[in-house]
């Protein structure tokens, strides 16, 4: 009976540990998937904002006119330049708006993330099967109806993934779909999670996805670790149970009733312990061998209580809880420490990813709101980076557009003294900033030259510990350079974050400049139209004067003709009078 009881206790303990381990695995997997889902939401939100911006531009007559003037049909029409804006909008408005929307799709098609494996695609929202509008990885699919059976790879029911995305978006505006598909350049299929969001004004479904095979591999590794730990615990419990049962039987055989009572007390304690309960140490007044058993059980109780308290603190997120294993051979205690360290590492990684995602979202909002003027854009950008990264100084240079010799001009600075920037411009290859421009590579300095820059405060000045210089690239061209200085050394994930946002900043700078050029061209076109209108009015007045002069000449000609006829009549009368006087004499 005692053996059966001990076996039942051991099985119960094993089941409890297994259930707890499975819950930890499930929680770990869900946490990783939630991070991935949030990343997908942020990425699609960025694409959604880009489409919304171009759609708003397509509704703006000024933007549409600018797009029309870039159309081949406009440039090939020799009379188009003389047309007013209303006529241009009537003739080419639809083509201009379509060009702006296609520009949004082209921008999305060029974006890559997640180690060049991540990309966007856009379909319409028609059922039963949508039509592909843009696929960044498979551009040949544009215009195709996605009804082929090769897309029936949805993970749970084998549904058409494009059909399900449209159905989810029509039902709730957005949705996730998990499926199996090959990676770019690899024939093997991997698990992938996609997120889609409907843009109602155009009926576009914007989607992107991230491969989650790494998460599945991490979960499988976690499962193997738990199984190995269960095996070790099983062996320990079996050995412990057999030892306790054997010793208890021996003591019962020798000490009868008292021994039986004390062993029953130990058994009850072990049973409660196996059920996962918190129990008090045993208080048995014995000096025989049972005293040693009682001490061992109390050590086990103490260890279990320590394990339980430590696990509770970990479960509450207190990763700094101090825990000392019972001994160097304390397998469970050492495994708990390793589990704590792994959970802490995972939590730190998740926190860094969340920090980067939040920073990207905040930066995207700043870039979206400051697309009309570069000066406030630079000021807002530097203030945001200084606050978010806790840096002390920052400066932003932009490559000048109309310089014969390539130079960069200072756009904005944060917390810099004026002496450093009296020159105001930097040539290609000049200094560290010019070298970064020339090589198109980021520079991270931890050993700062004494004459380079100093951070000044009310109490004095000192050299920074870290300087980061980043090229702002767009389409492989350097549009500017961002230089940041800090008293503290920036962490690797912070430097990686800066490298990620440099492309977004470059794209925004390019967009602002394009908008400014478009505005200037529009103003020039308006001025030219006014000059043409003035010349047309002058020609009309000259024409009216010529018509009046012509009428006056015709009037004078008629008067001369009348006088000529009158003179001829008088001459005729004079020539007929002599003949009339001589006729009677004949």
Share of the chain above pLDDT 90, in %: 18
More confident residue, 115 or 109: 109
Task: Look at residues 356, 358, 386, 382 and name the one whose alpha carbon lies nearest to residue 370.
Answer: 382
* Number of residues that make up the chain: 586
pLDDT at 206: 96
Residue 159 is encoded by which pair of tokens? 């549904």
Q: Residue 271 phi/psi, 5° resolution? A: -65, -45
Structure tokens at 206: 């914007």
Which band of pLDDT confidence, cut at 50, 70 and 90, is reported for residue 571? confident
Domain-embedded: residue 565 = no
pTM summary value? 0.40
Q: Does the pLDDT of residue 396 top 60, yes or no?
A: yes
Q: What is the DSSP string of 407-458?
A: EEEEEEEES--SGGGSS-EEETT-HHHHHHHHHT--EEESS--TTT--EEET
- Please indicate, yes or no, whether residues 203 and 230 belong to a single structural domain of this protein: no
- 579: pLDDT strictly greater than 60: no
CATH of the domain at 195: 3.30.450.20
3-state SS class at 176: strand
For residue 382, being part of any structural domain is answered with yes
**β partners of residue 199:** 204
Reference 166, options 200, 132, 105, 123; nearest CA is: 123
Phi-psi region of 476 (alpha: psi -120 to 50; beta: other; left: phi over 0): left
Residues 264 and 400 in one domain: no
Q: Collect all residues with Cβ–Cβ distance below 8 Å to 178 and sequence separation of at least 6.
A: 154, 155, 156, 191, 192, 193, 194, 212
Query: How many CA atoms does the CB half-sphere of 2 hold within 13 Å?
Result: 19
> Residue 574 — pLDDT band, cuts 50, 70, 90?
confident
* Structural domains of the chain, count: 3
- Report the chain's mean pLDDT, rounded to a whole number: 80
In a domain, 98, yes or no: no
Q: Between residues 259 and 39, which one has the greater pLDDT?
A: 39
The two beta strands, 477-486 and 443-445, are unpaired
Q: In the predicted model, what is the mean pLDDT of residues 540-558? A: 85
Residues ≥6 apart with Cβ < 8 Å to 226: 18, 21, 22, 24, 25
Residue 547: the pLDDT is 86
Give yes or no for residue 198 having a pLDDT over 90: yes
Whether 495 contacts 470, CB under 8 Å: no
Whether the CA torsion 370, 373, 375, 378 is positive or negative: it is positive
Pick the residue with more confidence: 7 or 506? Answer: 506
| Mean pLDDT (whole number) for 557-586 | 72
Residues 246 and 195 in one domain: no
304: pLDDT strictly greater than 90:
no
pLDDT(585) > 60: no
**Residue-wise over 220-229: b if at least 16 C-beta within 10 A, else e?**
eebeebbeeb
The CATH code of the domain that includes 388 is 3.30.450.40
pLDDT number for residue 276: 64
- CA pair distance 247, 240, nearest whole angstrom: 10
Q: Could you tell me if 167 and 237 lie in one domain? A: no
DSSP designation for 127: S
Cis peptide leading into residue 329 (ω within 30°):
no
- Look at residue 317 and tell me if it is in a domain: yes
Find, among 399, 401, 396, 400, the residue nearest to 375 by Cα. Answer: 396
Q: Say yes or no: 151 and 175 in one domain.
A: yes
Q: Is residue 553 part of a domain?
A: no
Q: What is the DSSP letter of 318?
A: -
Collapsed DSSP state (helix, strand, coil) of residue 10: helix
Determine, yes or no, domain membership for 456. Answer: yes
Residues 199 and 289 in one domain: no
Helix 85-110 crosses helix 61-68 at what angle (to 10 degrees)? 80
Do 310 and 341 lie in one domain? The reply is: yes
Determine the structural domain holding residue 182 and report its residue range: 113-211
Asked if 229 and 337 sit in the same domain, the reply is: yes
């Amino acid at each position: 009976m005692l053996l059966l009881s001990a076996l039942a206790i051991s099985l119960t303990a094993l089941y409890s540990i297994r259930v707890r381990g499975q819950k930890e695995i499930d929680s770990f997997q869900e946490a990783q998937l939630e991070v991935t889902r949030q990343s997908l939401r942020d990425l699609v939100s960025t694409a959604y904002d880009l489409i919304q911006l171009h759609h708003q531009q397509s509704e703006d007559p000024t933007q549409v006119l600018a797009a029309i003037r870039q159309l081949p049909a406009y440039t090939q029409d020799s009379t188009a330049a003389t047309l007013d804006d209303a006529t241009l909008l009537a003739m080419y408005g639809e083509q201009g708006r379509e060009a702006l929307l296609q520009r949004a799709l082209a921008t999305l098609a060029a974006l890559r993330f997640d180690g060049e494996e991540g990309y966007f695609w856009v379909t319409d929202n028609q059922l039963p099967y949508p039509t592909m509008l843009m696929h960044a990885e498979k551009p040949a699919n544009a215009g195709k109806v996605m009804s082929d059976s090769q897309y029936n790879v949805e993970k749970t029911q084998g549904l058409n993934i494009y059909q399900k995305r449209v159905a989810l978006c029509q039902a709730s505006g957005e949705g996730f779909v998990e499926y199996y598909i090959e990676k770019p350049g690899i024939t093997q299929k991997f698990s992938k999670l996609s997120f889609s969001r409907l843009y109602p004004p155009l009926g576009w479904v914007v989607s992107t996805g991230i491969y989650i095979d790494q998460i599945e591999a991490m979960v499988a590794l976690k499962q193997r670790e738990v199984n190995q730990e269960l095996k070790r615990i099983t062996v320990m419990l079996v050995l412990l149970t057999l030892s306790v049962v054997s010793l208890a039987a021996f003591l019962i055989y020798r000490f009868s009733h008292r021994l039986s009572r004390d062993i029953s007390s130990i058994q009850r304690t072990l049973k409660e312990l196996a059920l996962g309960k918190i129990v008090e140490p045993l208080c048995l007044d014995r000096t025989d061998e049972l005293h040693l058993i009682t001490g061992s059980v109390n050590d086990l109780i103490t260890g279990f209580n320590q394990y339980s308290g430590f696990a509770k603190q970990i479960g509450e997120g207190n990763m700094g809880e101090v825990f000392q294993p019972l001994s160097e051979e304390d397998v469970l205690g050492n495994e708990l420490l390793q589990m704590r360290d792994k959970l802490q590492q995972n939590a730190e990684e998740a926190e860094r990813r969340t920090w980067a995602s939040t920073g990207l979202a905040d930066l995207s909002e700043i870039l979206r709101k400051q697309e009309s003027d570069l000066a406030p854009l630079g000021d807002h950008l530097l203030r945001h980076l200084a606050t978010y990264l806790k840096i002390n100084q920052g400066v932003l240079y932009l490559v000048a557009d109309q310089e014969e010799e390539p130079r960069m001009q200072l756009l904005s600075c944060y917390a810099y003294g004026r002496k450093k920037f009296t020159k105001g411009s930097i040539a290609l290859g000049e200094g560290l900033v010019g070298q970064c421009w020339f090589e198109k590579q980021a520079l991270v300095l931890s050993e700062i030259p004494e004459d380079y820059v100093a951070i000044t405060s009310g109490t004095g000045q000192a050299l920074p510990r870290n300087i980061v210089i980043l090229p702002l690239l767009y389409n492989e061209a350097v549009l500017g350079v961002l230089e940041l200085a800090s008293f503290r050394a920036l962490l690797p994930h912070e430097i990686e974050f800066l490298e990620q946002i440099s492309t977004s900043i470059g794209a925004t700078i390019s967009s602002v400049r394009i908008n400014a050029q478009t505005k200037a061209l529009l103003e020039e076109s308006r001025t030219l139209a006014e000059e043409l209108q003035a010349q047309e009015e002058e020609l009309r007045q000259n024409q009216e004067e010529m018509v009046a002069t012509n009428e006056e000449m015709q009037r004078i000609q008629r008067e001369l003709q009348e006088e000529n006829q009158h003179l001829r009549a008088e001459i005729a009368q004079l020539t007929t009078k002599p003949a009339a006087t001589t006729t009677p004499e004949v």
